[in-house]
Amino acid sequence: MTPRVREILSWYGADNPGSLTNLARLLNHGRLGGTGKLVILPVDQGFEHGPARSFALNPPAYDPRYHFELAIEAGCNAYAAPLGFLEAGARDFAGEIPLILKANDGDVLRDDKDPTQAPTGSVEDALRLGCAAIGFTIYPGSAHEGDLYGQLRALAQEAKAKGLAVVVWSYPRGSGLTKEGETAIDIIGYAAQIAAQLGAHIIKVKLPTAHIEQEAARKVYEAQKIPIATAAERVRHIVDCAFAGRRILIFSGGATVTDDDTLLDEFRAIHAGGGFGSIIGRNSFQRPQAAALQLLGRAMDIYAGTS
């Protein structure tokens, strides 16, 4: 085990050996293994956005096995997906890549101003499939945030008791926020803090903008002159919000972007700001496989410090 991975594990002193072992599995696997950085392939979009919207751009992606193969060939640290996609390939690819079971999901069949998610997987499912972790989405700012927080806390407690790691998608959204506020620097920082307080080992957030949503927060940012002018400065601030960098913070790959240079600039900003990596879904599997492998490889080179 590298000194960096050993250091990261030391931040989770309340956890049992099982959870620490599974967290180490994620950190030690793939091309970035041992560096303390992560690139994870998540594929929950079939449930979240619908199959045609998710996979028609690259039809082989309709097949759940395609995503296992992509994550393995790219050298990702892990592959995350809902129950059905993992069940469709977990036996064929057993032991080849750490798995993360996405344990709640939502759809877009209703236009809800206050989104929520339903439980779609369990700790027992994760153990049966050989997963290293469970994943869970919360929506700070939604009228249903309290229910989601309570569900996460209970699921995290059970997962840790059974020796699994916990990955939290913390996405501000709902009637309590403006659209611009969903990626505001103060709100993303708050979302990272909430996920850490609820027991996440790994926290996934969106890249923040320089917008400040809450007036009370604006006064503090301005009075303390918190640097948020550049993307790297904003990443550094969000890292600080996750227990001063003592929780693993990774960033969403975002909506589909056809320009590789735009994505690579985002990865460079994450790396420069001290972020721990990226979780890249649509911008991976919606590309033809060769292009996806090239993009993921370049992302890993950036996080490894070789590009």
H or E stretch including 87? helix 83-87
Q: How far apart are CA 67 and CA 40, in angstroms?
A: 11
CA distance 139 to 118: 12
For the record, the structure tokens of 40 come out as 């994870």
3-state secondary structure 129-188: CCCCEEEEEECCCCCCHHHHHHHHHHHHHHHHHCCCEEEEEECCCCCCCCCHHHHCHHHH
219 is catalytic: no
Contact 48, 81 (CB under 8 A): no
Please state the length of the chain: 307
**42 vs 114: CA distance, rounded Å:** 23
Question: Going by DSSP bridges, is the β-strand pair 118-119/165-170 parallel, antiparallel, or unpaired?
Answer: unpaired
Q: Of 37, 102, 204, 206, which is the active-site residue?
A: 204
* Residues marked as catalytic: 204
